[in-house]
Amino acid sequence: MRTGIVIGATVALLALVLILGAGDDGGPNAYVVIGIATGAIYGLVALGLVLVYKGSRVFNFAQGEFGTVAAFTVFVLMEQVRSVDIPYWAALPAGLLVAVALGLAMERVVVRPLMNSPRITLLVATIAFALLTVGVEIVLFLPEAKVLEPLIAATDASGNPNGVEIFNYILEPQNIIIVGVLALLAVVLGYFFSKTDLGLAVLATSQDSFATRVVGIGVERTSRFIWGTAAFLGGLAGILYVPISGSLTPGAMTSGILIPAFTAAVLGGMTSLPGAFLGGIVIGCVQSLANWAGNTYTLTIDDVVKPLQSIIPGLPDVAIIIVLLLVLLIRPQGLLGSEA
Amino acid sequence: MTASATEVMEAPGPTLEAERWSPSAGGWTARLLVLAAIFGGVIWVTAIVPNYWADRISLAAIFAIIGLSLNIVLGYVGQVSLGHHGFVGIAAFVAAYYATEKAGCSLDACSFGTFMTATVVAALSGAVVAMLLGLIALRIKGLYLALITLAYGFVAERSIFEIPFLTRGGAGMPATRPDGWGTDREFAFLCFFFLAAVIFVDWRLLRSKVGRAILAIKHSESVASTYGVNVTSYKVLAFILSGIFAGIAGSLLAFRAETVVSNDFNFAIALLWVLMVVVGGLGNRVGVIIGSAFFALFPFLIVLIGPLDHFIRDTLGREPDYFTIVIGSALAILTIIQYPGGIGEQVSPITRWLGGKRFSLHAEGHGGHKPKEAKAAKPATGGLLAKVGLHNEDGTERSDEALAALGRAVERPASHDPGPPPDVWGALVGGKKKGDER
């Protein structure tokens, strides 16, 4: 019920922006489209964060790195293995597999020994694991930018764009794939957690691991499952996002993505999978619209007309943090959060 | 807390130790000699090494200040700050801005007075930004506060460090080293001076009413407030103090680099700072200093081992710097899972001995190589901190446990049985793990 109202209100709000900006060249329309496209990635990473939070009650700082590792695996298989020509459809599952393996390793090495420690301890441990991964990436691949090809090339052989044009903004095929994957995952995972036995076992573990053990549910198994799935989602986000971000560097999915994704998860309620989806889209649009406002509106200082963006550098990122602060101070349970 | 209560609470600590055992005149001399050897050794090494090394040693001293700053938030208050690069970076820019734009330092001359004023201004700016975060920390705790600090660092990185008049349009704000302290070696000694000042303030403060109040708040906010501790102001005060230390460190970093650029202060370095405090040992001053210096000097330790350096640079084609993150974070994971006391706990036999306690395995003092044999036999008591803990203002049941432990210690015959001391620290603070409200 509430989910429907909140989603409906958000969609109506975005539609309002689109209608008001229609026909206005340089208006906010294209920015909303960009916002939805980038927001989908935040949502995808946020899904993983929410999943881990539901299962282990901790913020997983390594969530972004699952993606970077998967992207690096695909990169190595496609670009650096010269003897065999590995196609994308084979490299992608391999990348996901490596991400899942990393997630399981992290669960075994870091999470399980600290299962009963204070959550802050586990938080610092996930930070250490994320930095360890970034460090290994730096040692292996040097701190240089690399390029990963998208699933479907952005331009065809003759140089024409492959994507769909919406409001004068050409949406790359990769963007459409991301939005589709995110929507599908949110529905599938939502079903999983409300209807299946394993899903309910995961929820039970997160609420009281001792009681869960008493009724005969393998806590270790659900924990493994949670971290494996989260790593899968993170890996998917990395492989899908890195090609449109343009560069693959060590820590690529942590430096710019993790904080907006956390904001999206908190906005969605930290425990709600549809909330993470919605939060991602909203945060993407907030960021993009702040960018638009920063470029459009001007202030006159000392008789010089300056765009807002140059007076407040990094305005889109500041907008995200303002949302985070407001949510935490005013509505800590988020849009769709509940204790489950 | 009344005066009489203070006396009652304070009485057991020092007197108990004094009655049990106290080093002879020779023992004290040996301790003083070892202390002098340690401090003299550090200064001597700084004085004779090449300039390039002295530069790195000054970084180690600055990292130690940052470590102590984080230690207040992480070890004493029990909250995680992932945005310390914000504190340090803003202070660095403020110091450089003041020195170059306001006090008119040129690129080759800057008076010592200007440097000191710039450092004070930087410390104040650090205090202000930390106070804002402290006010937020009153309402949001635990994991969510960690997120807020992270977001705060993100804003600093993406917005504040990009303000054109601070960064000179991205080129960096110059900060000329003060006259007379211009070389790397001289500057390293200047950093030592500030580190000593910070250690002194941290030490005295933790043993004062303020320090006891802050530790009591970490232990339990509600109990502390019941005993009349003003939780709100002490918590904010702890953040302000952390900000002041971070501000000093920021100013030193600015003058060390001589040009402040925003790239120096990023998300990864803030996380590394948190890990170095964890590796050093939360709430353990000596451990934090050693841990921070280790993280700063790590690439140098590789260079010291010639064949390893050769292997990394020439065979692998990698910089030793790259391995700081790998080894540092691996150490942090190991510390969290296996040795929660960190380096501080490993060296605690030495620090306790230097503090005038009995050394269980090696009674005669010749510093250096003892901890290897000693650490297995030594329980994690932490004499200094235990004494501090004794002065806690709260009177919870854990305190009663601690008093009971003390009681047992008093009953035990003093002269023989140097066996494991009672776990006073554990009983008082409730384990070595970081506090969490959840």
pLDDT digits (tens, 9 = 90+) for A283-314: 999 998 888 888 888 777 777 777 777 777 88
Whole-angstrom distance, CA of residue B141 vs CA of residue B259: 36
Q: How many domains does chain A have?
A: 1
Top-confidence residue, B342 or B245: B245
Buried b (16+ CB within 10 A) or exposed e, B182-213: bebbbbbbbbbebbeebbeebeebbeeebbbb
CA end-to-end distance (rounded Å), chain B: 28
DSSP notation for B249-301: HHHHHHHHHSEE-GGGS-HHHHHHHHHHHHHH-TT-HHHHHHHHHHHHHHHHH
Residue type, B70: L
- List the domain range (segments joined by +) for residue A243: 39-272
Mean pLDDT for the stretch of residues B167-186: 81
Q: Tell me what pLDDT residue B406 has.
A: 43
pLDDT over 50 (residue B414): no
- What is the structure's pLDDT at A167? 66
The mean predicted confidence, pLDDT, of chain B is 76
Residue B289 in contact with residue B280, Cβ under 8 Å?
yes
Contact with chain A for residue B361, Cβ under 8 A: no
Report chain A residues whose CB lies below 8 A from the CB of B318.
139, 142
Q: Give the pLDDT score at B81.
A: 87
Name the DSSP letter for residue B101: I
CB of B70 closer than 8 Å to CB of B271: no
Cα Dmax for chain A: 73
pLDDT over 90 at A125, yes or no = yes
Q: Give yes or no for residue B221 having a pLDDT over 60.
A: yes
Q: What is the pLDDT of residue B69?
A: 94
**Is residue A209 situated within a structural domain?**
yes
Which of B320, B233, B340 lies closest to A114 in space, CA to CA?
Answer: B340
CA dist B336 and B348 (Å) reads 18
Residue-level pLDDT at A231: 94
- Compute, in degrees rounded to 10, the torsion defined by CA atoms A339, A123, B287, B375: 90
Contacts of B219 in chain A (CB under 8 A): none
Whole-number mean pLDDT of chain A?
83
Residue B120 confidence class, pLDDT cut points 50, 70, 90: very high
Pairwise CB contact (< 8 Å): B155 & A124? no
B336 closest CB neighbour out of A114, A136, A328: A114
Interval A135-143 mean pLDDT: 88
Per the domain annotation, does A108 fall within a domain? yes
Residue scoring higher pLDDT (B117 or B356): B117
| pLDDT for residue A180 | 86
Q: Does residue A39 contact residue A235 with C-beta atoms inside 8 Å? A: no
Q: Is the model's pLDDT at B317 over the cut of 80?
A: no
Q: What integer pLDDT is reported at residue B113 of this predicted model?
A: 86
Q: Shortest CB distance from A123 goes to which of B143, B272, B330?
A: B143
C-alpha B96/C-alpha B262 separation (Å) is: 12
- Write out pLDDT tens, residues B365-405: 334 443 443 333 333 333 333 333 433 433 333 444 444 44
- Domain presence at residue A164: yes
A58 to B323: CB separation less than 8 angstroms, yes or no: no
Integer CA distances (angstroms), A160 to A148, A153, A175, B79, B92, in order:
20, 11, 17, 53, 49
| Neighbouring C-beta atoms of residue B107, cutoff 10 Å | 10
Confidence (pLDDT) at B104: 77
pLDDT band at B360 (very low <50, low <70, confident <90, very high): low
pLDDT in tens, A7-26: 777 777 777 776 666 655 56
Interface test with A, best of B274, B331, B333 (most A CBs within 10 A): B333
Residue A171 inside a domain? The answer is yes
* More confident of the two residues B4 and A138: A138
Give yes or no for residue B197 having a pLDDT over 90: yes
- Count chain A–chain B contacts defined by CB atoms under 8 A: 148
| pLDDT above 50: residue A322 | yes
Confidence band for B416, pLDDT divided at 50, 70 and 90:
very low
A5 in a structural domain: no
> Which pLDDT band holds residue A233 (cuts at 50, 70, 90)?
very high
What pLDDT was estimated at residue A309? 75
Touching B: A residues 172-211, CB under 8 Å: none
pLDDT of residue A159: 64
User: Would you say B96 and B174 are in contact if contact means Cβ atoms under 8 Å apart?
Assistant: yes
Chain A segment 65-94 residues within 8 A of B by beta carbon are: none
Hey, is the C-beta of B315 within 8 angstroms of any chain A C-beta? no
Residue A278 maps to a domain: no
* pLDDT computed for residue A26 by the predictor: 62
Q: Looking up tokens 């610092």, which residue turns up? A: A124
Does the distance separating the beta carbons of B278 and A128 come in below 8 Å?
A: yes
Q: How confident is the model at residue A264 (pLDDT cuts 50, 70, 90)?
A: very high
**pLDDT interval class at A228 (50, 70, 90):** very high
- Which residues on neighbouring strands pair with residue B10, listed in sequence order? none
Least confident among A61-70, B45-54, B102-111: B102-111
How confident is the model at residue B194, as a pLDDT?
Answer: 93
pLDDT digits (tens, 9 = 90+) for B127-147: 999 999 888 888 887 888 888
> Are the beta carbons of B267 and A113 separated by less than 8 Å?
no
Classify residue A196 by its DSSP letter: S
Higher pLDDT pick, B4 / A320: A320
Q: What is the pLDDT of residue A94?
A: 92
Evaluate whether residue A314 is within a structural domain.
no
* Residues forming a β-bridge with A170: A165
- pLDDT at A64 > cutoff 60: yes
**More confident: B321 or A241:** A241
A29 part of a folded domain: no
CB A241 within 8 A of CB A63: no
Stronger pLDDT, A266 or A33, i.e. the higher one: A266
Tell whether A308 is within 8 A of chain B (Cβ). no
Q: Which residues contact B37 (CB under 8 A, 6 or more apart)?
A: B367
Q: Which residues of B324-362 are buried (b: 16+ CB within 10 A; e: fewer)?
A: bbbbbbbbbbebbbebbbbbbbbbbbbbbbbeebebbee
Out of B82, B151, B318, closest to residue A324 by CB: B151
Evaluate if residue B3 carries a pLDDT over 50.
Answer: no
pLDDT value at position B139? 82
% of chain B surpassing 70 pLDDT? 77
Give the mean model confidence (pLDDT) for residues B394-421. Answer: 41
